[in-house]
């Protein structure tokens, strides 16, 4: 198995939140010779820099030898994944069980999240300015958490409801403790004293916290030949990780190479750490200001307009057990290589970013010249559904952008399935893309 696949399994097992991904990305980047852009007064060809946004998004640049206004080659992927966030006042006790109340984030099938081991990852920011990192209930702890469900024996009414209704969002509350009969009032208070001891926090500190409930445990190979991977958050860390590896490994850029790992895609790319913000423009202006000269705004616009981007996000893999949802010839197959989607969106391509034919031709040539296996695909049959990605926010600058990524089976489930061949191919694709002129 290639190092990329092994390191990928380790990465997604250990980094389950956007903050954890950014921290690890910084560690990997610094090892590869990247420095925080704040350390530079001027920049020149071959310099490698990064900048972060609230610890939840990161933008890396490898400065090329060509004038930057001729455009950059940009790899973009997101590092947030569907999950359950703790509410602001999450802790309560009911009939002897202590719960944490949650509010789900992104598109989930709620029934998939009950009766399985769940962990809590995130941060608690205290009034004194200290930010405490929290990681509880993982495989290497001797405890975990879970959400309960009704036993089948008395679930007649529940089973009559539609799948979108039978687990109400408000019932996705995490069991974290018990008030045992022999102890008086020990439930909630006992949980709080464990948290006090472990993290030095009190109940009020939940008010300023970002705590994410995610599936516990590590990613694993799937299948006897270990040719697939099952793990949490492969949408879109499978593209994010391979993009990052490619840009860190890449050498001697002609066109400036850029890698953007962003947050909030799963809820519409909104906010300061999502792609529908000035994040990229702000990062680029930090680069351009270090080249000196004037009229920075024009240079930003020109650079972005002349750039190429792979807006990488996972694609729904053809599911042999549900063929009625897919147009076989226009679907991506698990193990079929990197996927390009000319367009995304739903119904009559609503909300799509539709890539230019000329740009696709250029990509086809780059893939073929470098012997990279690729497939062109739609998400599914016309009118069965769809979704948007971050490509449209890049297209807003006038750059050439296409949706690309790795095929995933059971996307958005707590544990998603990918193919090791596709992961290796994604990295080869990204390396070939970074050399594109």
**Which residues would be at the binding site for Mn ion (CB under 5 A)?**
235-236, 313
Which residue, 195 or 406, has its beta carbon nearer to Mn ion?
406
Nearest to 291 by CA among 59, 69, 136, 102: 69
Minimum distance of Mn ion from residue 66's CB (angstroms)? 31
Minimum distance of Mn ion from residue 36's CB (angstroms)? 27
The total of other beta-carbon atoms located within 10 Å of residue 319's CB is 16
Which residue, 213 or 275, has its beta carbon nearer to Mn ion?
275
Reduced 3-state DSSP string for 219-240: CEEECCCCCEEEECCHHHHHHH
Distance CA 168, CA 5 (A): 37
Which residue, 93 or 236, has its beta carbon nearer to Mn ion?
236
Minimum distance of Mn ion from residue 370's CB (angstroms)? 25
400: Cα separation from own chain's centroid:
22
258 and 60 Cβ atoms separated by less than 8 Å: yes
Distance CA 19, CA 121 (A): 10
Which residue, 93 or 235, has its beta carbon nearer to Mn ion?
235
- The tokens for 152 are 């089948």
Minimum distance of Mn ion from residue 408's CB (angstroms)? 9
Distance CA 399, CA 347 (A): 25
Which residue, 77 or 284, has its beta carbon nearer to Mn ion?
77
237 and 15 Cβ atoms separated by less than 8 Å: yes
Which residue, 210 or 235, has its beta carbon nearer to Mn ion?
235
Minimum distance of Mn ion from residue 236's CB (angstroms)? 4
Minimum distance of Mn ion from residue 238's CB (angstroms)? 10
Which residue, 20 or 235, has its beta carbon nearer to Mn ion?
235
Minimum distance of Mn ion from residue 412's CB (angstroms)? 6
Minimum distance of Mn ion from residue 269's CB (angstroms)? 10
Which residue, 236 or 245, has its beta carbon nearer to Mn ion?
236
User: Given its phi and psi angles, is residue 32 left (phi above 0), alpha (psi -120 to 50 degrees) or beta?
Assistant: alpha
Q: Is 120 helix (H, G, I), strand (E, B) or coil?
A: strand
Distance CA 102, CA 173 (A): 6
7-11: list long-range contacts, CB under 8 Å, 24+ apart: 7/241, 7/245, 8/229, 8/238, 8/241, 8/242, 8/423, 9/218, 9/219, 9/220, 9/221, 9/229, 9/231, 11/237, 11/241
Minimum distance of Mn ion from residue 404's CB (angstroms)? 12
Which residue, 76 or 284, has its beta carbon nearer to Mn ion?
76
Distance CA 148, CA 81 (A): 22
């Amino acid at each position: 198995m290639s190092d990329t696949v092994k390191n990928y399994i380790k990465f997604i097992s250990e980094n389950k939140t956007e903050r954890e991904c950014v921290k690890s990305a910084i560690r990997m980047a610094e090892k590869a010779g990247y420095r925080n852009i704040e350390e530079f007064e001027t920049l020149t060809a071959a310099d490698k820099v990064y900048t972060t946004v609230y610890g939840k998004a990161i933008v890396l640049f490898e400065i090329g030898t060509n004038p930057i206004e001729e455009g950059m080659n940009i790899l973009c992927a997101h590092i947030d994944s569907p999950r359950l966030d703790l509410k602001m006042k999450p802790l309560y006790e009911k009939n002897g069980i202590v719960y944490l109340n949650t509010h789900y984030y992104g598109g989930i099938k709620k029934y998939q999240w009950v009766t399985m081991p769940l962990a809590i990852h995130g941060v608690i920011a205290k009034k004194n300015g200290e930010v405490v990192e929290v990681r509880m209930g993982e495989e290497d702890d001797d405890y975990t958490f879970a959400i309960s469900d009704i036993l089948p024996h008395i679930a007649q009414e529940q089973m009559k409801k539609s799948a979108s209704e039978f687990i109400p969002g408000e019932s996705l509350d995490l069991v974290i403790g018990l008030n045992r009969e022999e102890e008086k009032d020990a439930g909630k208070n006992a949980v709080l004293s464990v948290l006090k001891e472990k993290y030095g926090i009190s109940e009020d500190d939940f008010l300023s916290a970002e705590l994410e409930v995610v599936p516990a445990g590590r990613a694993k190979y799937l299948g006897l030949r270990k040719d697939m991977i099952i793990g949490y958050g492969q949408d879109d860390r499978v593209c994010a990780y391979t993009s990052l590896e490619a840009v860190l490994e890449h050498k001697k850029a002609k066109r400036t190479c850029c890698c953007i790992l962003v947050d909030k895609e799963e809820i519409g790319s909104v906010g300061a750490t999502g792609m529908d913000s000035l994040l990229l423009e702000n990062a680029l202006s930090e680069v351009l200001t270090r080249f000196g000269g004037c009229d920075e705004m024009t240079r930003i616009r020109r650079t972005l307009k002349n750039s190429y981007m792979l807006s990488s996000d996972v694609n729904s893999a053809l599911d042999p057990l549900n063929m009625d949802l897919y147009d076989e010839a226009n679907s991506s197959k698990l193990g079929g290589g990197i996927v390009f989607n000319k367009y995304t969106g739903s119904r009559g391509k609503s909300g799509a970013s539709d890539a230019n034919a000329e740009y696709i031709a250029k990509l086809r040539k780059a893939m073929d010249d470098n012997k990279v296996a690729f497939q062109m695909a739609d998400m599914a049959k016309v009118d069965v559904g769809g979704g948007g990605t971050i490509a449209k926010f890049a297209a807003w600058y006038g750059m050439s952008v296409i949706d690309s990524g790795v095929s995933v089976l059971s996307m958005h489930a707590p544990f998603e399935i990918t193919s090791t061949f596709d992961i290796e191919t994604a990295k080869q694709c990204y390396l070939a893309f970074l050399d594109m002129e």
